Amino acid sequence: MKTTHKMFIGLFALLMMYAVSANADNNSATNVSSVIQQSKEQSVQIVTACDGKKKVIVEGYKEGEPMPEHKAREVAKLLTALMDYCEEEITAKIPETEIAIQLSINGDPFISVTAIEELPLVLVHGGKPHTEREKRIWSAELNRMIDTGYKIFHDPTLGTNGISCDMCHPNASNTHPETYPKFQTQTKKAALLRDMINWCIENPQEGKKLSDDDPRMKALEAYIISERTGVILEPGKH
Amino acid sequence: MSIRKCRQDRETKNESLSGLNRREFLKTAVATGTIATGAGVFLNYAQSIAQQVEVKHGTNRFTFAYISDSHLLDRGREHRFAKSLIKAVKDVNALEPQPDFVLYGGDLAQLGLRDELSLGKDIIAELKPKLYMMVGEHDWYYDMGDVWREFFGKPTYSFNHKGIHFIVLNSVVVEDYWSGPKMAPMERMLFMAQLDNPKGRPFTVGEEQRKWLSDDLSGVEKHIPIVVFSHSPLYKYYKAWNFWADDAEQVQKLLSPFKTVTVIHGHTHQVLTNKIKNIAFHGMMSTAWPWPYAPEGIPKLTVQMDRPDPFNQFDGTGWGIVDTLHDGNVNKTYKLWDRNPMIVSYDKVSTGRELVPGPSY
Amino acid sequence: MQRKRSKLTFSTVFIVMLLNLSAGFICSLPSVAFTQSADELYELKLPPYVLEPIIPENNPLTKGKVFLGQKLYFDKRLSADDTVSCATCHDPEKGFADGEIVAIGINGQKGARNSPTTLNTAFFDTQFWDGRVLTLEEQAILPIANPIEMGMPSHDAVVEKISNIAEYKADFKAVFGSDNITIDQIAQAIASFERTLITFNTPFDRFIAGEENAISTSAKRGWELFQGKARCLTCHEFNVSYPFFTDNKFHNIGVAMKDKDFGALARKAAGSDADPSALAHEKAASELGRYLVTKEPKDIGAFKTSGLRDIALTSPYMHDGSEPTLESVIEFYDKGGVPNPNLDGGIRPLNLSEEEKTDLVEFMKALTSNDLPELIKKLNP
């Protein structure tokens, strides 16, 4: 994490050098494709990342012409994002007028990407990106667990008296799963989230508690944690 | 204020307590069996605030009580929600003097079933004062109010009482989401019954009732105080949980020419106070369970009740009384069963100062 | 090669995006009866939660292609001497494999690897034991022109042979709308048919769906072992979204290391520009497995994790057919495979008891689909 951070800073510094001194480094452009050659004849600057494999063609700025800060920042952000492609050779174009970024991977034809945030996500695992199939499975399995939890959370049959979890905890309010383990006054001892789920089942809901490895318990935890992730804890307000 | 000073204040004020208030307190406490020494002191202090208010806004004309959001299930009188409603009815019947009338604030039933409504009807029939009924979405969306109307009559009406014009609305009207997909009645009901249901629809008063309201108000002089009973809050608090009326601004506009307007609403199951221009808003407690406060949109005037203990079905639940002052403004008292009551006086609402001088427990 | 691989993955992202759109289209089709048309989409019947297979954007699954692909799959005329069809090595009666140790092509020629089943291959990331192609389209036509499989001299030759069969001329015209048959059309049709060879409704599927007694108590213990002590699940991945028992990855478990000198083979192959398809059929070079495709040392002797659905029907096992029974497979894993410098880090001795071994076999026997007889009947009218 630290290394990555340093690398980004280094990269950004490199960029700023380009932007401020506007000295295009001709040596860095040893392996440029015909696209780049063609671009060179127009009004463009080519910025190359430290690995020599990622290039950003910035249209609308001549070699040597300083870029405004926002543009330089955009280029830096894009190059940083491109570093996620590890060993791949990437050429990106930031057109002068269009909003979309043009991206070419390993010499493939350019494709259009609407924003830096929209770059096709390539996670790295064993040096290889995960496949789309894998990502679909992970997403489906995760969502199914959370959805199952959502259903149980809203189902009064977890207890016996017609009360479901959501009746006191809409959107899992006041569950703040991130605060466990903690001493819980109801149980008079340190408790985990699942202990309090069972406490609620047995007390307000007058039901029979679930075992720790009951798939319903796991699903409830999955729903609660996913629903509350990112919600700020405000002591005294829950 | 130091603790010592505070105690002195209380002692001074206790001396000037009216006998009437003290009698009321004792009767209630005996009837509910929840008297506690500390609670008594605080209640007295709170009531003394009410007395101060009377100086400014005139003496209490009359008092009415409310009971709301009982959410009865078809599980007989032994079910915890039924027990709570029965407790509220007993509390109100023990008030002395008796309130002029009782408002039932909606959501008598949980799923709008005949047996639920019938159980509720039997329990509230035991109330001694006159009863005014209001409808909530839980009463309505199983059969679109058929049984409710059969039991309780029209959901929209007005009446005058001791110089105040009272209006009762059905403010849980939503656009038709059920005809298209041909939903079964229970499916339609469950859409509305789940608070955090993103597929639910926002409440409105609706064009038809707004027209009725406009006509109704046209015959009321502008200096006459207005009190509106509405199940949903007639303002926009938190849409995701339908703590909301989509046409709130339009309704507020109809009420804007009147000097003194108070809205008493249910649905939110929490201590909730708001003021928008000329209108003061007060939430009603539920007898069944408290909702947590929404993550955003809580009106600034609201002093939040701290989180109830779910072990205790009488914590964070209760009923309330509303003292209608001579100038038409109201002081509202949250009768929280296992806590001290919380009084929201009109004086505090109008000045925006802190509403409650201490913790609620 | 690494670069090429990720390039393809990258374009898959977009294919999938488009596919999602077309999948939505399939779902939103009105439920009125379709007119009999070759272009009509073929709807795969998947149990709830199972994700649709990724189908190439340029080869939508139509009834016409499935029909034509079925015909081609069973047609021995695709081979040089009219003796071998796809179904010869991927025989419905034999679990869509052949029951042989290694595949047998024209003139009784033996290949170097065991014929895998064509069942459920639509769901795999790569095809062949070494994953040298990504799609069924690419896979389907390679054996046709392989000298020791179906033996046609070239793809052009098979196109010409098919083009001279009047029946096919009409079929291809109806399905692809053109008079000229191409090898890609043949590939698309066979691949489309193969995508329909999917098998659910196994006792284990029913068990997972909540039918507690769908499998024996021994199989239930086997399932627990599979996920736990026996360490199977990591590679033979299973979940409700993707219940195919493979991680689609390549592992050296030592099967290929029986009696061979790999160092020498790898050095030889590393310097070679030979086609992996050809090497895969050379008895010795074939054992290098995934290495033939990637030339990465870590892939020496690594082969694709097989799916396990209907596994009881497709003995013998492993890429070289070296394990005759499920019992012997379990013995192989129990002793920790065959130690070698490239052994996968997940492989280690399991110390299973005899009962546990039996339980694992019982579990695998519960993975045979009850729908298979009907599927086979449908294919042999």
Q: Mind giving me the DSSP string for B3-25? A: HHHHHHHHHHHHHT--HHHHHHH
Q: How far apart are the first and last CA of chain C?
A: 44
Nearest to A162 among B110, B292, B306 (CB): B110
What number of residues does chain C have?
Answer: 381
- Rounded to the nearest integer, the mean pLDDT of chain A is 78
* Chain C neighbors of A136, CB-CB under 8 A: 16, 51, 241
Q: Which residues contact C143 (CB under 8 A, 6 or more apart)?
A: C86, C89, C105, C149, C150
Domain residue spans of chain B: 3-55, 60-351
- Rounded to the nearest integer, the mean pLDDT of chain C is 87
Nearest to C2 among A111, A127, A140 (CB): A127
- The angle that helices C183-195 and C155-163 make with each other, rounded to 10 degrees, is 80
Q: Compute the distance between CA of residue B145 and CA of residue B133 in angstroms, rounded to an integer.
A: 13
Q: Which residues contact C80 (CB under 8 A, 6 or more apart)?
A: C106, C150, C151, C152, C153
| Predicted pLDDT of residue B345 | 83
| Predicted pLDDT of residue B78 | 93
Contact of B289 with chain A, judged by CB distance below 8 Å, is answered with yes
Compare A85 and A169 and report the one with higher pLDDT. Answer: A169
Q: Strand pairing of B273-276 and A182-184?
A: unpaired
A218 — pLDDT class (breaks 50, 70, 90):
very high
* Chain B neighbors of A204, CB-CB under 8 A: 310-311, 313
Using the beta-carbon criterion (under 8 Å), do A144 and C54 form an inter-chain contact?
no
Q: Compute the distance between CA of residue C185 and CA of residue C159 in angstroms, rounded to an integer.
A: 10
Q: Among all residues of chain C, which has the CA nearest to that of A144? A: C49
* Chain B neighbors of A168, CB-CB under 8 A: 289-292, 310
Using the beta-carbon criterion (under 8 Å), do C248 and A133 form an inter-chain contact?
yes
Residue C127 in contact with residue C139, Cβ under 8 Å? yes
Interface of C with A (CB under 8 A): 2-7, 9-16, 49, 51, 54, 123, 125, 239-242, 248
Residue C150 in contact with residue C77, Cβ under 8 Å? no
Nearest to A88 among C6, C51, C54 (CB): C6
DSSP state of C62: B
Residue A191 in contact with residue A180, Cβ under 8 Å? yes
B61 — pLDDT class (breaks 50, 70, 90):
confident
> What does the pLDDT average to over B190-213?
94
* Chain C neighbors of A119, CB-CB under 8 A: none
Q: Among all residues of chain A, which has the CA nearest to that of C12? A: A132
Contact of B194 with chain A, judged by CB distance below 8 Å, is answered with yes
Compare C238 and B354 and report the one with higher pLDDT. Answer: C238
Q: Mind giving me the DSSP string for B210-259? A: HHHHHHHHHTS-TTS-EEEEESS-SS-SBGGGTB--TTHHHHHHHHTTSS
Question: Over pLDDT 70: what percentage of chain C?
Answer: 88
Whether the predicted pLDDT of B250 surpasses 90? yes
Q: Which domains does chain A have, with CATH numbers?
A: 5-123 (no CATH), 132-226 (1.10.760.10)
User: What is the tens place of the pLDDT at every residue in C177-225?
Assistant: 999 999 999 999 999 999 999 999 999 999 999 999 999 999 999 999 9
Contact of A147 with chain C, judged by CB distance below 8 Å, is answered with no
Nearest partner of B169 among B221, B229, B218, judged by Cα: B229
Listing from the earlier edge strand, what are the strands of the sheet with B157-161? B157-161, B164-168, B226-230, B261-265, B279-283, B273-276
| Predicted pLDDT of residue B50 | 54
Q: Among all residues of chain A, which has the CA nearest to that of C8? A: A131
Cis amide leading into B97 (omega within 30): yes
Q: Compute the distance between CA of residue C193 and CA of residue C195 in angstroms, rounded to an integer.
A: 5
> What does the pLDDT average to over C11-32?
34
Nearest partner of B239 among B181, B198, B292, judged by Cα: B198
B238 — pLDDT class (breaks 50, 70, 90):
very high
Using the beta-carbon criterion (under 8 Å), do A108 and C7 form an inter-chain contact?
yes
How far does the CA of residue B290 sit from the closest CA of chain A (Å)?
A: 7
Q: Among all residues of chain A, which has the CA nearest to that of B74? A: A162
A11 — pLDDT class (breaks 50, 70, 90):
very low
Q: Do chains A and B touch (3 or more CB pairs under 8 A)?
A: yes
Nearest partner of B301 among B335, B350, B256, B252, judged by Cα: B350
Angle subtended at Cα C97 by Cα C111 and Cα C169, rounded to the nearest 5 degrees: 90
Nearest partner of C319 among C124, C91, C112, C140, judged by Cα: C112
Q: Do chains A and C touch (3 or more CB pairs under 8 A)?
A: yes
Q: Compute the distance between CA of residue C190 and CA of residue C67 in angstroms, rounded to an integer.
A: 9
Using the beta-carbon criterion (under 8 Å), do C9 and A132 form an inter-chain contact?
yes
Whether the predicted pLDDT of B39 surpasses 50? no
The Cβ of residue C260 has, within 10 Å, a number of other Cβ atoms equal to: 15
User: What is the tens place of the pLDDT at every residue in B303-317?
Assistant: 888 888 888 889 999
Mutate to test the interface with C, among A132, A142, A145 (most CBs of C within 10 A): A132
| Predicted pLDDT of residue A82 | 83
| Predicted pLDDT of residue A75 | 86
| Record: fold of B60-351 | Purple Acid Phosphatase; chain A, domain 2 (3.60.21)
The Cβ of residue B142 has, within 10 Å, a number of other Cβ atoms equal to: 26
> What does the pLDDT average to over B212-222?
96
Q: Which residues contact B246 (CB under 8 A, 6 or more apart)?
A: B202, B203, B204
Using the beta-carbon criterion (under 8 Å), do C13 and A120 form an inter-chain contact?
yes
User: What is the tens place of the pLDDT at every residue in B142-162?
Assistant: 999 999 999 999 999 999 999
> What does the pLDDT average to over A56-66?
85
| Predicted pLDDT of residue B58 | 64
User: What is the tens place of the pLDDT at every residue in C248-272?
Assistant: 999 999 998 876 666 677 777 776 6
| Predicted pLDDT of residue B47 | 52
Using the beta-carbon criterion (under 8 Å), do A128 and C241 form an inter-chain contact?
no
| Predicted pLDDT of residue C8 | 34
Question: Over pLDDT 90: what percentage of chain B?
Answer: 69
* Touching chains, A (3+ CB pairs < 8 A): B, C
Contact of A237 with chain B, judged by CB distance below 8 Å, is answered with yes
Whether the predicted pLDDT of A20 surpasses 60? no
Q: Compute the distance between CA of residue C277 and CA of residue C139 in angstroms, rounded to an integer.
A: 11
How far does the CA of residue A189 sit from the closest CA of chain B (Å)?
A: 16
- The angle that helices B206-218 and B248-255 make with each other, rounded to 10 degrees, is 0
Mutate to test the interface with A, among C1, C3, C6 (most CBs of A within 10 A): C6
How far does the CA of residue A97 sit from the closest CA of chain B (Å)?
A: 40
Nearest to A203 among B110, B307, B310 (CB): B310
Q: Compute the distance between CA of residue A219 and CA of residue A230 in angstroms, rounded to an integer.
A: 19
Contact of B304 with chain A, judged by CB distance below 8 Å, is answered with yes
| Predicted pLDDT of residue B35 | 35
Using the beta-carbon criterion (under 8 Å), do B310 and A204 form an inter-chain contact?
yes
What type of residue sits at position B264?
I
Contact of B358 with chain A, judged by CB distance below 8 Å, is answered with no
Residue A107 in contact with residue A36, Cβ under 8 Å? no
User: What is the tens place of the pLDDT at every residue in B255-285?
Assistant: 999 999 999 999 999 999 999 999 999 999 9
Buried b (16+ CB within 10 A) or exposed e, C152-176: beebeebbebbeeeeebeebbeebb
B121 — pLDDT class (breaks 50, 70, 90):
very high
User: What is the tens place of the pLDDT at every residue in C325-367?
Assistant: 999 999 999 999 998 888 898 999 999 999 999 999 999 999 9
Using the beta-carbon criterion (under 8 Å), do A122 and C6 form an inter-chain contact?
yes
Residue B294 in contact with residue B243, Cβ under 8 Å? yes
Lowest mean pLDDT among A85-94, A208-217, B309-318: A85-94
* Chain A neighbors of C15, CB-CB under 8 A: 132
* Chain A neighbors of C11, CB-CB under 8 A: 108
Q: Is C118 helix (H, G, I), strand (E, B) or coil?
A: coil
Q: Among all residues of chain C, which has the CA nearest to that of A108? A: C7
| Predicted pLDDT of residue B341 | 86
Using the beta-carbon criterion (under 8 Å), do A132 and C4 form an inter-chain contact?
no
**Torsional sign, CA C159, C163, C165, C168:** positive
Q: Among all residues of chain A, which has the CA nearest to that of C49? A: A140
Using the beta-carbon criterion (under 8 Å), do C54 and A127 form an inter-chain contact?
no
A:173-232 residues touching chain B, CB 8 A cutoff = 173-174, 186, 200, 203-204, 231
Whether the predicted pLDDT of A129 surpasses 70? no
* Chain A neighbors of B304, CB-CB under 8 A: 237
Containing A91, the helix (H) or strand (E) segment is strand A90-94
Q: Count of A–C CB contacts within 8 Å?
A: 63
Longest dimension (CA), chain C: 63
